[in-house]
């Protein structure tokens, strides 16, 4: 349903998605009123004293704000910014969700499609809200979306022709949800798909959905770096297909810079999307050859004095940490040799699950932030685990203690802390310490 000129809308939130939604509606001739997420006044009528005919929530909105709930209880539709963009668009849509890996996979999919001559735009994050792109979709073949967990409950008719679930969320603590509720939430990504649409989904995530009795309406293709039952998988550094009609070797990971199980799964998902959108294998592998993952994706910064430094700081979830450990030590070494730096905002409480993987690989874990005590309680059973005041303290301490043959891994395992007590200068602390130790910049120790 598109809004007609002269109709009334309330846009809740002050994030870039809310700004883009308001601007899009105003260009359509809609009378728009803005409100903060915490506003509770029912005097939220648009011009003329009449209530809104539609409420749109910004992309950063978690749950249902009081003002939106007020109007929903009175029969006014409440949708998210991405839902609005979908309704106002004229192209097909691909959507990517999951606990982690979304940015890499979205960018990979866009790269594969663009290199094959498709007209593509990427929607997601503060820098590219979907509503800011909606008016240009007449000139697009596809819009590729990075969908966050908080958006699912506000998607009604959003229907991607290809929906990708990279991994299952352990929990959704921002909404007070445990694992099962978080899985039901993310399954809404597939809710409006038709039998001829595609679900590209990690084998392990599909098993969890099926255990809850959730069936997918479209055609399904699975991928996994671990399961040999997946349609697409990994064998001895090769991405391979076991999918009937497309079986065989797809790509040698040694040809590019996508290393490790989590980046392998991102590449497998992108290849699956390309396949169902009728790209040739040559077109896709050429794009993979030249793709460089973003800084901080299991990035080996270098070695000095026999100590290797690895930045996995963009991977802020447990699944990524697990796969980073398996990348660096596929088989447990004779003695643990990884110094792990982890921490941040507390998101989920599944830290115990990682213990058996830590025990044979991690020499010591240094943890910081809100998550430090929960990590220490869970991991101290398996490896020495010490809370530290900050990421900077952790990086400097491990620099003093690591010895030849060790690896220093920064993989937070939870979201980055926000707020004045976590200044932006601290967020690059690990790379600064590593760069100075590796001789890439001049200066003394970090203070």
**Domain at 377, CATH number:** 3.90.190.20
Q: Is residue 183 part of a domain?
A: yes
**265 and 207 share one domain:** yes
Indicate which CATH number applies to the domain containing 55. Answer: 3.40.50.720
Q: Contact, 65 vs 57, CB < 8 A? A: yes
Tens digit of pLDDT for each residue in 394-437? 999 999 999 999 999 999 988 776 544 444 445 688 999 999 99
Q: Are 342 and 411 in contact (CB under 8 A)?
A: yes
User: 3-state DSSP call for residue 294?
Assistant: coil
High-pLDDT (> 90) share of the chain, %: 72
**49 falls within a domain:** yes
Residues 345 and 258 in one domain: no
Q: Is 130 left (phi over 0), alpha (psi -120 to 50) or beta?
A: alpha
Residue 186 has a pLDDT of 93
Domain boundary among the residues 233, 258, 289 is at 289
pLDDT, tens only, 289-326: 999 988 888 888 999 999 999 999 988 888 889 889 98
Pairing of β 338-343 and β 307-311: unpaired
Percent of the chain, pLDDT > 70? 91
**Is 111 or 351 the better-scoring residue by pLDDT?**
111
Report CA torsion sign: 277, 282, 285, 286: negative
What CATH code is carried by the domain that includes residue 221?
Answer: 3.40.1190.10
pLDDT at 97: 96
Q: Do residues 343 and 363 lie in contact, with contact meaning Cβ atoms separated by under 8 Å?
A: no
The one-character DSSP state at 172 is B
* 115 lies in the same domain as 247: yes
238-241 and 232-235 strand pairing: antiparallel
Distance set, CA 148 to CA 101, 178, 208, 341 (Å):
12, 17, 19, 25
pLDDT band at 441 (very low <50, low <70, confident <90, very high): very low
pLDDT digits (tens, 9 = 90+) for 44-62: 454 446 899 999 999 988 8
Question: pLDDT tens across 191-246, in order?
Answer: 999 999 999 999 999 999 999 999 999 999 999 999 999 999 999 999 999 999 99
* Residue 73 lies in domain: 8-79
- Report residue 4's pLDDT band, with 50, 70 and 90 as the boundaries: confident
Q: Are residues 51 and 128 in the same domain?
A: no
> What is the pLDDT, as a whole number, of residue 347?
59
Q: Which residues are 123's β-sheet partners?
A: 145
Q: Which pair of structure tokens corresponds to residue 135?
A: 């008016």
Of 27, 44, 79, which residue is a domain's last?
79
Assess whether 418 and 269 both reside in one domain.
no
pLDDT of residue 349: 60
Count of the separate structural domains present in the chain: 3
Q: Are residues 326 and 234 in the same domain?
A: no
pLDDT digits (tens, 9 = 90+) for 258-297: 988 889 999 999 999 999 999 999 999 999 999 998 888 8
Closest alpha carbon to 146 in 133, 135, 157: 133
Give the C-alpha distances (Å, rounded to integers) separating 220 from 272, 314, 383.
Answer: 10, 29, 40
Q: How confident is the model at residue 176 (pLDDT cuts 50, 70, 90)?
A: low
Closest by Cα among 97, 76, 84, 209 to 154: 84
| pLDDT score for 421 | 47
| Last-in-domain residue among 79, 110, 135 | 79
- Shared domain for 52 and 177, answered yes or no, is no
The overall average pLDDT reported for the chain is 90
Is 442 a domain residue? no
């Amino acid at each position: 349903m598109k809004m007609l000129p002269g109709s009334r809308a309330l846009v809740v939130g002050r994030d870039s998605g809310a700004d883009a939604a308001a601007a899009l509606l105003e260009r359509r001739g809609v009378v728009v009123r803005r409100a903060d997420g915490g506003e509770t006044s029912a005097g939220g009528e648009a011009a003329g004293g009449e209530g809104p005919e539609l409420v749109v929530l910004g992309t950063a909105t978690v749950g249902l704000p009081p003002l939106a709930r007020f109007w929903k209880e009175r029969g006014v539709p409440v949708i998210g910014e991405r839902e609005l963009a979908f309704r106002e668009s004229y192209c097909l849509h691909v959507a990517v969700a999951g606990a982690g890996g979304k940015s890499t996979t979205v960018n990979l999919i866009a790269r594969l499609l663009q290199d094959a001559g498709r007209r593509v735009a990427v929607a997601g994050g503060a820098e590219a809200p979907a509503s800011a792109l909606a008016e240009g979709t007449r000139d697009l073949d596809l819009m590729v979306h990075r969908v966050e967990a908080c958006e699912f409950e506000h998607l009604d008719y959003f229907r991607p022709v290809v929906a990708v679930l990279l991994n299952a969320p352990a929990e959704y603590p921002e909404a007070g949800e445990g694992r099962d509720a978080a899985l039901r939430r993310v399954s809404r990504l597939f809710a409006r798909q038709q039998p001829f649409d595609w679900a590209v989904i990690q084998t392990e995530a599909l098993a969890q959905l099926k255990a809850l009795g959730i069936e997918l309406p479209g055609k399904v293709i699975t991928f996994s770096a671990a399961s040999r039952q997946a349609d697409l998988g990994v064998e001895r550094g090769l991405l391979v297909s076991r999918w009937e009609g497309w079986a065989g070797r797809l790509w040698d990971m040694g040809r590019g810079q996508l290393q490790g199980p989590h980046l392998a799964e991102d590449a497998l998902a992108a290849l699956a999307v390309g396949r169902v959108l009728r790209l040739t294998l040559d077109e896709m592998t050429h794009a993979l050859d030249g793709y460089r993952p973003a800084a901080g994706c299991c990035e080996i910064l270098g070695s000095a004095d026999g100590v290797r430094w690895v930045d996995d700081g963009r991977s802020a979830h447990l699944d990524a940490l697990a796969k980073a450990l398996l990348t660096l030590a596929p088989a447990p070494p004779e003695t643990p040799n990884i110094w792990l730096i982890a921490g941040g905002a507390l998101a989920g409480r599944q830290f115990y699950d990682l213990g058996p993987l830590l025990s044979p690989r991690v020499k010591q874990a240094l943890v910081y932030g809100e998550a430090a005590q929960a990590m220490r309680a869970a991991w101290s059973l398996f490896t020495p685990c010490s809370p530290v005041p900050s990421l900077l303290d952790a990086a400097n301490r491990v620099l003093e203690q690591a010895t030849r043959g060790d690896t220093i891994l920064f993989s937070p395992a939870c979201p980055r802390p926000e707020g004045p007590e976590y200044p932006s200068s601290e967020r690059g602390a690990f790379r600064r310490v590593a760069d100075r130790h590796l001789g890439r910049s001049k200066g003394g120790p970090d203070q």
